[in-house]
Amino acid sequence: MTRALRLLGVTAVLVLLAGLLGVGTASAGETDPDPLAGAPAKGACYDLTYKQGWEHSVPEAPVECSDDHTTVVIAVGQLKAGVTWDSPEKTISKNVGAQCGAAFAAKIGSKPALLMYSQYNWFWFAPTDAEQEAGARWFSCHLASLEDNALSDLPDKLPRAGRNLPDVLARCYVGRKYAATTCADRHDWRLSYATVVRMKPTAKNLDKAAKRICPRHVSSRVWLRSAVPIDRKSFAIGCSTKTHR
């Protein structure tokens, strides 16, 4: 996939850019390459739609953060030495993922159980072709809160992931496919409790842990369980209460 939304929920989904123009060597008399040509400022806010998140470069100008906005720049990284926009997708992905992931963790947190309570995600944009021709090597990491098919308006203050988040950030589920969405959006289930289980993340262990943990942490007779593998010996499990919205 190219030019796709770059997200990090509890597990990262890194979608890569391929085939973009490389930066040639400047000839005599040309301006020196500028690695930050066109880069946004850290903290800049944008009012983007979910569809616009699929563009490979930021499709809109920034807006005042006091106005409605759906993303905020949490970092402006640069490709490391030896990496260009013509490098293999896997190489670019590793470089971008390391820097944006670190910025996300610093801003929102990195504990899997706490991340499950939120719809926080990150995605990234590359420079335009013209900016790349000017020598741009930057990429911008944007924080967002995802509904099932939209971006939620962000509040003025962005609390770290955890319990008691405002509805526009909190995780709920909707529909027969149990799509994750914010609790400000239409939903059928709300995450009530999440914890880390030190067991191999097999289907049998997930079911066993859910039956042991969830009934004590939900307020409805029926409940929904969700889980995210952390490594080969542990996983985070979430228990959701049935709602009437």
The string of pLDDT tens digits covering residues 66-78 is 999 999 999 999 9
Instruction: State whether 159 and 194 are in the same domain.
Output: no
pTM of the shown model: 0.85
Q: Which two tokens stand for residue 239?
A: 């228990």
pLDDT at 19 over 60: no
Decide if 94 is inside a domain.
Answer: yes
Last residue of a domain, one of 146, 172, 198: 172
Question: Which residue, 109, 110, 116, is CA-closest to 239?
Answer: 116
pLDDT digits (tens, 9 = 90+) for 156-194: 999 999 999 999 999 999 999 999 999 999 999 999 999
Q: Which two tokens stand for residue 53?
A: 């998140």
For position 244, what pLDDT does the model report? 77
Give the SS3 label for residue 53: helix
Contact predicate 58/40, CB 8 Å: yes
Torsion of CA 25, 6, 103, 107, to 10 degrees: 150
For position 32, what pLDDT does the model report? 82
Instruction: State the residue range of the domain holding 221.
Output: 188-242
Last residue of a domain, one of 113, 147, 172: 172
pLDDT digits (tens, 9 = 90+) for 74-113: 999 999 999 999 999 999 999 999 999 999 999 999 999 9
pLDDT at 26 over 60: no
Give the chain's mean pLDDT. Answer: 89
Instruction: State whether 112 and 194 are in the same domain.
Output: no
pLDDT at 240 over 70: yes
Instruction: State whether 12 and 51 are in the same domain.
Output: yes
Q: Which amino acid, residue 79? A: L
Q: Which two tokens stand for residue 45?
A: 């806010």
Of residues 9 and 217, more confidently modeled:
217
Instruction: State whether 75 and 142 are in the same domain.
Output: yes
Q: Which two tokens stand for residue 123?
A: 């995605």
Last residue of a domain, one of 122, 147, 172: 172
Decide if 180 is inside a domain.
Answer: no
Q: In the sheet that 234-242 helps form, which strands lie side by side, from edge to edge?
A: 179-182, 171-174, 189-197, 234-242, 223-231
Instruction: State whether 122 and 156 are in the same domain.
Output: yes
